[in-house]
Copies of this chain bind each other. A is one copy, B any other.
Amino acid sequence: MTESTKISKKVIERLSEYRTALDEQSAGEQRNIFSHELARLCGVTAAQVRRDLMSIGFSGSSAKGYDINELKQTVSDFLGFGEERRVVLVGIGHLGRALLDFFVNRHPKLVVCAGFDVNEMRINRVIHGVRCYAVSEMERVVAENRAQVGIITVPESAAQETAERLVEAGVTGVLNFAPVQLRVPGHVFVENLNISTVLEKVAYFAGLNADRERVTK
């Protein structure tokens, strides 16, 4: 960590997508990939791929493009997959369970190590392979597991308190599905993912497109 010109959220997102795309490709026989090929796989431009890889100091060859394995390794290392990251999930409703199902054994380096809920029915059980606890045990379990990341899928009214307790217990990154703006200390990264907002956006542009179709037809 000698000198790291800060990398933006957008670049991190795309790096993650490059890695995913390569993983999916990797069954193939191809050993190298050109910027425009990777770009097409991820729906971005070739220049963007080159610039992103440049920003993490990865180089290819002008004749063969990028070495796929090397690239996957470099991106993985950059994203911090050298060591396992521990994630906890608070709120084991439908969405929470879907996320558990989604992540468990899907990602080698992001392991969901515990779930929490207030509902008696959900605690002291193993759901999709993840042990679930009462929220009252949050501080202890999070700290014991040294979890850095928390996923919040509790109702809106409980989100702020949940965030505070997670942070108190040592979490430095939160993925928040509740439609509230969490107030957290400056050293904590929060990403809000409001599914309603996303769907409203899609609906908006779907509407525009439908209108345009109707007009041009």
Q: Do residues B191 and A209 form an inter-chain contact, with CB atoms below 8 A?
A: no
Q: Do residues A43 and B198 form an inter-chain contact, with CB atoms below 8 A?
A: no
| Minimum CB distance partner of A215 in chain B | B1
* Binary contact readout A19-47 vs B (1 if CB under 8 angstroms, 0 otherwise): 01100100000000000000011110000
| Minimum CB distance partner of A156 in chain B | B24
Q: What's the Cα separation between A1 and B214 when bound, in Å?
A: 13
Q: Is A103 close to B, CB under 8 A?
A: yes
Q: Do residues B17 and A194 form an inter-chain contact, with CB atoms below 8 A?
A: yes
Q: Is A51 close to B, CB under 8 A?
A: no
Q: Shortest Cβ distance from A49 into chain B, in angstroms?
A: 13
Q: Do residues B197 and A17 form an inter-chain contact, with CB atoms below 8 A?
A: yes
**Cβ of A110: which chain B residues have Cβ within 8 Å of it?**
199-200, 203
Q: Is A149 close to B, CB under 8 A?
A: yes
**Cβ of A87: which chain B residues have Cβ within 8 Å of it?**
199, 203
DSSP class of A's interface residues: helix, strand, loop or mixed? helix
**Cβ of A94: which chain B residues have Cβ within 8 Å of it?**
97-98, 101-102
Q: Do residues B213 and A187 form an inter-chain contact, with CB atoms below 8 A?
A: yes
- What are 14 A-B pairs with beta-carbon distances under 8 A? A9-B205, A13-B197, A16-B197, A16-B200, A20-B194, A20-B197, A79-B204, A110-B200, A149-B206, A172-B209, A175-B202, A187-B212, A188-B209, A189-B205
Q: Shortest Cβ distance from A32 into chain B, in angstroms?
A: 20
Q: Is A125 close to B, CB under 8 A?
A: no
Q: Do residues A201 and B103 form an inter-chain contact, with CB atoms below 8 A?
A: no
Q: Do residues B85 and A16 form an inter-chain contact, with CB atoms below 8 A?
A: no
For A200, give its contact among B79, B174, B193 (CB under 8 Å).
B79
Q: Is A12 close to B, CB under 8 A?
A: yes
In chain A between 147 and 202, which residues have their CB closer than 8 angstroms to a CB of chain B?
A: 148-149, 151, 156, 171-175, 179-181, 187-189, 191-202
Q: Is A134 close to B, CB under 8 A?
A: no
